[in-house]
Structure 1
Amino acid sequence: MSELTVRVSDRRDVAEGVFALELAATGGTLPRWTPGAHIDVHAGAVGVRQYSLCGDPADENRWRIAILRETAGRGGSEHLYRTAEVGTSLRVSVPRNNFELEPSGEYLFLAGGIGITPILPMVTAAVRAGARWSLHYGARTRAHLAFTDELSRYEHVNLVPQNESGLLPLADLLADTTAAVYCCGPAPLLDAVETEGARRGLAVHTERFTPRRVDNVVDRAFSVRLAHSGQVLAVAADRSIVDVLEGAGVAIVTSCREGTCGSCETTFLEGEVQHRDSVLTADERAHGRTLMPCVSRALSDVLVLDL
């Protein structure tokens, strides 16, 4: 994984419990990125966390991320809340994108809470492309809606505080649309959008900050064979493929270890996979040849990896 050091050049609160960090290059320009991209951020002893880039993709001098402070979370956001002041150096990855904005004449953007972050640059891209678009953005209260100052410049934005207007009216929004649908937010919103979209045959694109719930999980032992060396490794029911590979000295890039970041995506050549990630689309799972070895497992006795 390519990494670099950036400097916090600005910090501000953008909603209740949400703070934004502007990150500047320590020398030269920053790597280019596209709407939907995220970066890994080192959060001290807590580990690495992923945050969507939510600034302007055309700005090569500054990146921006926004972080929901979760006091009862795993500690990453709390660490950055306490330590990421202006002037602080942070170690980050180059941008990676599992949520690419595909060309379309019309977009329907749906966001919930901190899920507005990857959607913001998508709105910018849609405006620059001259596409038709609308954004429907919900949160618990008006105070929990982030970046409302920036969103106020647009006409096609519908802000939906739950305590005033209820939940996003997904059935109505998806009823007659032919737009490409992009959605990010809490799991119940994503589940509902995916279910309603599938029922209507819509092209729905989602990104998850937390692992997708997987039903009918099978924690069984199996073996992986490494195609390049022929080495066969046993994967016990209580160990991940990544754990076994690392234990055998096989170098593999990994970050979140919960199937949400896509950094460990690996090609498999033979075998049947039970996908447990939150990155691959249904079509990629059914017809693709990659898996996320941090969470996915084999349903066959042997899984052959292109390693």
Structure 2
Amino acid sequence: MKRTAESEPGGGGGLCEGRVVAVTGAGRGLGRAHALAYAAEGAKVVVNDLGVGLDGAPAPDSPAAQVVREIRQSGGEAVAHGGDIATSDGAASLVDTAVDTFGRLDTLVNNAGFLRDRMLVNLAEDDWDAVMRVHLKGHFLPLKHAAAYWRAEAKAGRTVTARVVNTTSGAGLLGSVGQGNYSAAKAGILGLTLVAAAELARYGVQVNAIAPAARTRMTEATFAETMAAPTSGGFDAMAPENVSPLVVWLGSGAACAGATGRVFEVEGGRITVMAGWRPGPTVDKAERWTPEGAGSAVRELLERAEAPGGVYGA
């Protein structure tokens, strides 16, 4: 990968002026909204989309080029990338495309995904593997290759102000009936985010995850009533564009250091910092429990503990 731009991004008219941003799954829905929002704030955008259906099967043509045209027609700069980011070669080529086209990579937004929903007893191994591959491996590999690029930049003495925004889900935070594969993959993204934030801070990289609620191909059929646009006008709380402002800020040089490693739930006009797993009530006997004693202790602890959030669809 050649590096042709030495100047630090930022300092222009938009929040992301001069930054180079790669967005996966950016042909439709949330990814498209993110790509357009970054371009509106001055970023140069790599629009990744494999162009597949909801079940991961190839579609006749990728919509990435359409998003690139939209950005260029608005005076922005963008390039399409059609590689499979769940493969090492595809993920590496995503970073290569950013650096070879625009001279650098500053922000990675991991957004690509699809669904293969089944109740656990009906969930085929192939459906498990496919969802894990696209969501979890499709986050890991672009992150790995981008991190290697930023580490090399930092070791070469160049200032790195890099950002990663991963996409989890309420299903990963709380679980969702009929989505065991999807919930497990999205929960895995939370763990990956925490580790990446800790490991990459030394190189100038901040890492976050968002759990968005918005109307996309993945949600508009499953949650049709909740996701429907208002028929009488007014604020469309489920429009994917509502999620993008937070994603743009997290991916900009303005994002504060205290934000790294944090997970945000975002829906409509609401932004929530998610607290994650924390120790609750505890008891220490300082010796081995009997099964009956452990059971009595657990019952007492549960009486003092906060009730967990409900699993979606339960």
Higher strand share: 1
Task: Please report the TM-score for the alignment, with normalisation by the length of structure 1.
Answer: 0.30
The higher-RCO structure (CA 8 Å, 6+ apart) is 2
Higher helix share: 2
